[in-house]
Amino acid sequence: MVEVRFLGVGAPKPKRVIRVPLGLVSYLQATPLMLILGAFLLLPILMIGTVSFWDYDFAQMYPDFVTFNYTETLGSWVTWKTYLNTLKFAFIVWAITLFVGFWVAYFLAFHVRTSAMQSVLFLVCTVPFLTSNIIRMISWIPVLGRNGLINTALVNAGIVPQPVEWLLYSDFAVVLAMVHLYTLFMVTPIFNTMMRIDRSLLEAARDAGASGWQILTNVIIPLSKPGMAIGTIFVVTLVMADFSTVQVMSGGQSASVALMMKNQMSLLQYPAAAANAVVLLALVLLMVAAILRVVDIRKEL
Amino acid sequence: MHSDKRPREFYVLAAFFALFVLFLYGPLSAILILSFQGPNGGLTFPLNGVSFHWFGNLFEQQAVGDFGGSFRRSFALGIMVMVVTVVVSLLAGLAFRRKFVGATALFYLSVASLVVPSIIISLGIGVLFSQLGLQPAWYSSGFGAHLTWTLPFGVLIMFAIFNRFSPAYEEAARDLGATSWQTFRHVVLPMIAPPLIGVGLFGFTLSYDEFARTLMTSGTYNTLPLEIYGMTTNVTTPVLYALGTVTTLFSFLVIAGTLGLIMAMNRRRGRA
């Protein structure tokens, strides 16, 4: 469609033009984002920081300046164990998703030859991640349960005499479900950086006599590091924040920091939960800051 | 390139990829099948007859709580979040094309919005609202909580798009006498429309499935994911799977519809 307009033809309405100084435009455009993040991110975090010093009883919080929310939390052996457990989940899930994510992205980027096929296969990986996390978590129950698919198969095949108990409601189930939920957050950024690797570099390496393995370790892996870093940020922060997977998949037998917070919240111990939130937030931000030293996100987008 | 033989590495990786896809879809198909469980069937295989019993059960109030109401709320919230996410990220993306004081800070604030644990945002907004004397509700506090999750995705996607957007098209339009609004409306917007629709899809689906941030911010009425989350602890019949099947099919429909729209737009542009 081409529209042709003649100057001066049509209603000669005198248009009032509102002139905005050019320098101001950016600020106006950025204002909505600033307002929303200010009101629903900065302010709530400041509020948590404040409340973490408040006193409370079974029904209410009292503005005050007490530090026992912190000393109680950090002085308890249970808290430390919970933090260690959360870090353990984060590390295991990170290692598995990095391994799986790398090879999936590598296959898509370097072994699938047509870009149409690439898009289709990438989409196949993406679609489940746009569906409900809880449903995807629950979907493991008929697979892993005592009478689930795997156990039935194992028993019928005579491999084990009795159903294996630790498949569901265990740390194993938690890790499996987290890998299931979060791998895409690793695949996407790695795939993205791999697609931007100049293919002539690979040819040059091959011409210089590099084997496939050498190309992988000396060219592709170093150049995919930014993608791995971004994926790591996603996976680590998601696992550190997780409470539902731990709760549902461990059947209440395992703990995470966020789950501990959630329990405190359901007991209306908001200041205690807030103190935990501050510690958790500091830990997560430190981890992210450490990863950001390796990669400049603004350049990688 | 197309004629040479595939290396053995290809087949190993293809098998690995196939396993990964099976891992992604296998469990989902298990609950899809089990939702057709007969009236006396349980939560695991084998199927005890085939029926629509549990789907019918879904629409009885007492069986699963308020499925219809929570679906309507989640749908409305998803649409609200989608619209605001698209508009605000587009504006922010445009803003980031020029340098302005605080641009870096705002960018990192968006990244922070992504990495701050959901439950902390939930707690913070919940406490903030109660201290301000406001009643939390899905359309106010829940709405804001969802935006802190969808906006960073939108902003980062727009940022990436404008990073690669050549200013030559706009300069050409300006040289031909277009006003800045005309340049935006007739040149920039059509070019970024497909990814913008993608941002909309992200906004909707992320909000539609979100529950950690909704936990403390939804007020009296549950959204659908909260309803399902509640069911995981106290529902022991396949009605849970029926609900999972219905919401997953709905998500698939939304995704397929959006992709169809993007493809249609690309085709139209190819013809023009």
**Element (DSSP H or E) covering residue A56:** strand A55-56
Q: How far is CA A19 from CA A194, A214, B64, B91, B186, in A?
A: 45, 59, 57, 18, 20
DSSP code string of B84-150: HHHHHHHHHHHHTTS--TTHHHHHHHHHHHHHS-HHHHHHHHHHHHHHTTPPP-TTTHHHHHHHHHH
Task: Find the domain containing B106 and state its range.
Answer: 66-234
**ipTM value for the complex:** 0.87
Which has more confidence, A178 or B166?
A: A178
Residue B119 in domain: yes
**Chain B residues lying within 8 Å of A37, measured CB to CB:** 106, 109-110, 113, 148, 151
User: Do residues A19 and B124 make contact, with C-beta atoms less than 8 angstroms apart?
Assistant: no
**Chain A residues inside the 8 Å CB shell of B144:** 36, 39-40
To the nearest whole Å, the CA of B263 is away from the closest chain A CA by: 12
> What 3-state class would DSSP assign to A62?
strand
Q: Are strands A61-62 and A55-56 parallel, antiparallel or unpaired?
A: antiparallel
What pLDDT, on a 0 to 100 scale, did the predictor assign at position B3? 46
Rounded to an integer, the average pLDDT of B168-186 is: 88
Instruction: Return mean pLDDT, chain A.
Output: 86
B141, pLDDT greater than 80: yes
Residue boundaries of the structural domains of chain A: 75-300
Q: Which residues of B touch A47 (CB under 8 A)?
A: 124, 127-128, 131
**Residue in A41, A104, A135 nearest the CB of B121:** A41
In a domain, B190, yes or no: yes
Chain A contacts of B147, Cβ < 8 Å?
A: 36, 40
Q: Which residues of A touch B201 (CB under 8 A)?
A: 130
With an 8 Å Cβ cutoff, is A280 touching chain B?
Answer: yes
Residues facing A55 on adjacent strands: A62
Instruction: Enter the DSSP assignment of B37.
Output: B
B148–A134: do the CB atoms touch at under 8 Å? no
Give the chain A residue whose CA is nearest to the CA of B95: A26
Domain A75-300: state its class: mainly alpha
Chain-centroid distance, C-alpha A112 = 26
Position B231 confidence tier, pLDDT thresholds 50, 70, 90: confident
Q: Residue B237: its pLDDT value, please?
A: 76
Predicted confidence at residue A251, as pLDDT, reads: 83
pLDDT band at B1 (very low <50, low <70, confident <90, very high): very low
B95 to A26: CB separation less than 8 angstroms, yes or no: yes
Q: B85 or A17, which is more confident?
A: B85
**CB of A132 within 8 Å of any CB in chain B?**
yes
How far is CA B249 from each of CA A96, A132, B177, rounded to the nearest angstrom?
Answer: 29, 11, 49
* Contact present, B144 and B128 (Cβ < 8 Å): no
pLDDT of residue A83: 93
| A288 vs B: CB within 8 A | yes
HEC string of B196-246 equals: HHHHHHHHHHHHHHCCCCCCCCCCCCCCHHHHHHHHHHHCCCCHHHHHHHH
Whether residue B115 lies inside any domain: the answer is: yes
Return the CATH number at B193: 1.10.3720.10
Helix (H) or strand (E) holding A55: strand A55-56
Minimum mean pLDDT among A28-32, A41-45, A57-61: which range?
A: A57-61
Question: What SS3 state is found at A61?
Answer: strand
B123, part of any domain: yes
Q: Which residues contact B254 (CB under 8 A, 6 or more apart)?
A: B201, B204, B205, B208
- pLDDT mean over B233-241: 77
CB contact under 8 A, B43 and A141: yes
DSSP string, B147-208: HHHHHHHHHHHHHHHHHT--THHHHHHHHTT--HHHHIIIIIHHHHHHHHHHHHHHHHHHHH
* Residue among B107, B51, B77 nearest B242 (CA): B51
Which of A41, A131, A273 faces B251 most closely, judged by CB atoms?
A131
Distance separating alpha carbons of residues B235 and A144, to the nearest angstrom:
18
Q: Which of the residue ranges A188-197, A213-222, B35-44, B138-147 would you say has the lowest mean pLDDT?
A: B35-44
- Chain A from 199 to 218: CB within 8 A of any B CB: 212
What global pTM score does this model have?
0.87
In a domain, B230, yes or no: yes
Contact A113 B209 (CB under 8 A): no
In a domain, B270, yes or no: no
Average confidence (pLDDT) over B115-135: 91
pLDDT at residue A115 is higher than 60 = yes
The pLDDT of residue A123 is 87
How many structural domains are present in chain B?
Answer: 1
Asked whether the predicted pLDDT for residue A43 surpasses 50, the reply is yes
Which has the minimum average pLDDT: A1-5, A158-162, A187-191, A281-285? A1-5
Residue B41 within any structural domain of the chain: no
Residues in A closer than 8 angstroms to B7, CB to CB, are: 212
Determine the distance in angstroms separating the CA of A235 from the nearest CA of chain B, rounded to an integer: 10
Q: How many angstroms separate the CA atoms of A175 and A92, rounded?
A: 7
Tokens 């320098």 locate to A23
Residue B251: CB atoms within 10 A of its CB come to 20
| B71 domain residue, yes or no | yes
Confidence label for B71 from pLDDT (cuts 50, 70 and 90): confident
Q: What is the pLDDT of residue A5?
A: 54
Per-residue model confidence (pLDDT) at position B47: 73
- How far is residue B159's CA from residue A40's CA, in Å, rounded to a whole number? 21
Span of A59-68, B140-149, B185-194 with lowest mean pLDDT: A59-68
Question: What is the DSSP track for A143-184?
Answer: HHSTTSHHHHHHHHTTS-SS--GGGSSSHHHHHHHHHHHHHH
Mean pLDDT of chain B: 85
Determine the Cα–Cα distance for residues A150 and B100; give it in Å rounded to an integer: 57
- According to the model, what pLDDT value does residue B64 have? 56
Q: Give the pLDDT confidence score for residue B2 in this predicted structure.
A: 47
Is A106 a residue whose pLDDT tops 80? yes
Query: Which of the pair, A228 or A66, is modelled with greater confidence?
Result: A228
With beta carbons under 8 A apart, name residues in chain B contacting A183.
20
Q: Read off the pLDDT of residues A234-251 as tens digits, 9 standing for 90 and up.
A: 999 999 999 989 988 888
Q: Chain A window 228-267: which residues touch B at a Cβ cutoff of 8 Å?
A: 233-234, 237, 240-241, 243-244, 248, 258, 261-262, 265
What's the pLDDT at B27? 87
Q: How far apart are CA B265 and CA B271, in angstroms?
A: 10
Tell me how many residue pairs between chain A and chain B have CB atoms under 8 A apart.
Answer: 250
By the CB < 8 Å criterion, does A26 face chain B? yes
User: Using one digit for the tens of pLDDT, what is the confidence trace for A92-105?
Assistant: 999 999 999 999 99
pLDDT at B149 over 80: yes
**How far is the C-alpha of A217 from the C-alpha of B81, rounded, in Å?**
43
